Copies of this chain bind each other. A is one copy, B any other.
Amino acid sequence: MIVVMKSDATPAQIDHMSRHIASLGLSPQVIHGSHQTVIAAIGEESPGMAEALEPGEGVEKVLPIMAPYKRASSELKHERTVVKARGLEVGGVRIAMIAGPCSVESEDQIVTLARRLKALGATGLRGGAFKPRTSPYSFQGHKEQGLKMLATARAETGLAIVTEVMAPEHVPMVAEYADVLQIGARNMQNYQLLQAVGDSGKPALLKRGMSATMDEFLLAAEYILDRGNPNVMLCERGIRTFEDHTRFTLPLATIPFLNEKSHLPVVVDPSHGTGKSRLVPAMAKAAIAAGADALILEVHEDPEHAVSDGSQTITPAVFKQLMDDCRRVAIAVDRAM
């Protein structure tokens, strides 16, 4: 850490901070500048230390230096993580496509659609059984019934099931049916849930919170990794900004940034990331060009009658074209699909 003292900090204040730093197990090194003094605190920073030093007398600000995450960092683990769940493999040369409806509506719906998606090249099937809904009056999902429908679709197609789990106490039940446990954007900092998913040992798809920084995102992954579960996928799904022509802003620079800082594979969700089905195909191609390892997409036979998220859902026909287009882009960036 670097503790920047105010320009009028007294020698006593500088001395006090140095001793405070030493009491934290770090070694203080005072640097007298022409304008102000800074104290370098050498040693292993732990989270919250910078924050703890800031209220000190005479302190202007404290600058942390080390990244706060460890297990998620590419400095600690150089080889890239490949997450595998049945036929779904995320993080290798081949780009994976996870597709399906926002909500599981009926067994017939999900099985028919799963067959279609499988035929078109998807390896993962998404579908919500537990639905986090902004309003208590919206459809909340078929819950365990929905999970059973997904399991049936898997039995019919072999697609890996990716579905959301919303509460720690549901983890065992969802883990029984699903191949990948999805943690939604609203729950990215639901730490009990992260730990429960970590403990389950199941592959996890962690969605970025809509206002999470990269440090917060990687620290959320750290909660899962820290429980001994190495199979974490990081999913960019759009952030909240002032833009109003899309439902969220989908910042694809996340992809090369995460690819540099972390060994974990990166998934992109252009459906939630735009909220507009018309923008999904272009953003799907762009995500692959930027280096994504997988896409997760909302597909429904009849988006107009989908029980949720219709406005951002594409039809199987659009998905077919998107697969063809994405495959060409994947090859152009030395990937396969």
Chain A positions within 8 Å of B, measured between CB atoms, are 2, 4, 7-8, 20, 29, 31-36, 38, 40, 42-44, 46-48, 51-57, 63, 65-66, 68-69, 75, 132-139, 166-169, 186-187, 189-193, 210-211, 213-216, 219, 222-223, 226, 239-246, 249-253, 255-257, 260, 273-274, 276-279, 281-283, 285-291, 303-311, 313, 325, 328-329, 331-333
Q: Which residue of B lies closest to A7 (CB)?
A: B75
Closest CB of chain B to A181's CB: distance in Å?
Answer: 15
Assess whether A63 is in contact with B66, with CB atoms less than 8 Å apart: no
Assess whether A279 is in contact with B304, with CB atoms less than 8 Å apart: no
Q: A136-B219, A137-B46 are in contact. Are A36 and B52 (CB under 8 A)?
A: no
Closest CB of chain B to A62's CB: distance in Å?
Answer: 8
Assess whether B35 is in contact with A66, with CB atoms less than 8 Å apart: yes
Q: Which residue of B lies closest to A132 (CB)?
A: B191
Which residue of B34, B55, B277, B310 is within 8 Å of A303 (Cβ)?
B55
Q: A38-B65, A257-B279, A289-B329 are in contact. Are A241 and B249 (CB under 8 A)?
A: yes
Which residue of B55, B166, B190, B223 is within 8 Å of A136 (Cβ)?
B223
Q: A250-B253, A289-B288 are in contact. Are A36 and B190 (CB under 8 A)?
A: no
Q: How many copies does the complex hold?
A: 4
Assess whether A283 is in contact with B256, with CB atoms less than 8 Å apart: yes
Assess whether B260 is in contact with A274, with CB atoms less than 8 Å apart: no
Assess whether A31 is in contact with B42, with CB atoms less than 8 Å apart: yes
Q: Bound complex: CA of A52 vs CA of B222, how far in Å? A: 33
Q: A139-B48, A190-B186, A191-B166 are in contact. Are A31 and B33 (CB under 8 A)?
A: no
Closest CB of chain B to A184's CB: distance in Å?
Answer: 9
Q: Bound complex: CA of A214 vs CA of B243, how far in Å? A: 8
Q: A213-B242, A255-B282 are in contact. Are A325 and B329 (CB under 8 A)?
A: no
Which residue of B63, B169, B251, B310 is within 8 Å of A63 (Cβ)?
B63
Q: Could you say which residues of chain B place their CB within 8 Å of the CB of A246?
A: 251, 253, 257
Assess whether B249 is in contact with A239, with CB atoms less than 8 Å apart: yes
Q: Which residue of B lies closest to A70 (CB)?
A: B137
Q: A31-B29, A135-B68 are in contact. Are A242 and B240 (CB under 8 A)?
A: yes
Assess whether A333 is in contact with B216, with CB atoms less than 8 Å apart: no
